[in-house]
Amino acid sequence: MVSPKRKRLVTGKTVVIPLVGHPVEQVKSPGPINNWFAEHGVDAVIVPMDIRPEKVASFFDVLRAMENCAGCSITMPHKQAAFVACDEVSERARRARAVNTIRRSPSGKLIGEMTDGMAFIAALGGHGVRVRDCNALLVGAGGAGMAIAFELASEGASSLTIIEPDQMRRRALEAELNRYHPALEVFDRVAAGRKIDIAVNASPLGMNSGDPLPFPIAELAGALIVADAVTKPVVTPWLKEAERHGLKVQNGEEMALAQLPIQLSYLRFMNSSSRSAGGATGAAELSIAPEAAK
């Protein structure tokens, strides 16, 4: 928490980091990141910006011209648009075809990374869950879902069942997984008798009241963990149902918190050694307080 004696003062020298999405009222990172900047004497601020999809390409043009900008953070539904806008992307971002963090070079070049999968795995580690030889279930094959799928594969998952209503998107992800991780078994449904160890919702289901559950909890008996990438509400109906069945859960806030030191390192505000010193998530000095929920 920021000391009450320490005041933040935004000036013409302050480095600005936009956080873009539509909507942005659910985002969790501005509070803890701005607190971290204040506590460490970093003259920077992260600002949520609600940008409509039809205008987001223009936003990235502005980002290139912002001399006092270190980069930006991207949330739904702009991760694919951010991928297209970047001049360079990491191998993770290229495989996911999505970007959630952009570093802006002094010349205005936009360099993209996709950290959702890394954050998901880090959050799992905080629960003592390891992926190797596990059967995983993924609901949603958008930007975050693709990133999580590749990290599950890289960490040695035995199989991955992908539930995605857009069949072209699902088949594209399956083809990429087969290309880079041929040993991974990929399915489009949970066959009778196959126990799921790790289940994750990377779709928007649960953000709005009345949404159906991403997957029947009754079919996840014995799972090691049920995880959700949705951050608002923090405990989605799916997670409530999982808890009612006695299953361990991981909420979207935990993944969001695990994301913060990874992104700060990528934007060069935190070095990788200090991030590693933070434990499983590298977030020893970052925390999401209730007031940081907007």
Record the tokens describing residue 37, joined without a space.
Answer: 């900047």
Residue 59 DSSP SS3: helix
Catalytic: which of 55, 79, 195, 232? 79
Record the tokens describing residue 245, joined without a space.
Answer: 């069945």
Which residue carries 């969001």 as its tokens?
Answer: 256
Q: Do 283 and 258 touch, CB atoms closer than 8 A?
A: yes
- Angle 97-232-7 (CA atoms, 0-180°, nearest 5)? 95
Whole-angstrom distance, CA of residue 73 vs CA of residue 157? 28
Does the annotation mark 79 as catalytic?
yes
The number of CA neighbours under 13 Å toward the Cβ of 88 is 7
Residue 31 CB coordination number (10 Å) = 21
Residue type, 156: G
Strand duo 110-113 + 101-104: pairing? antiparallel
Q: Which residues are known to be catalytic?
A: 79
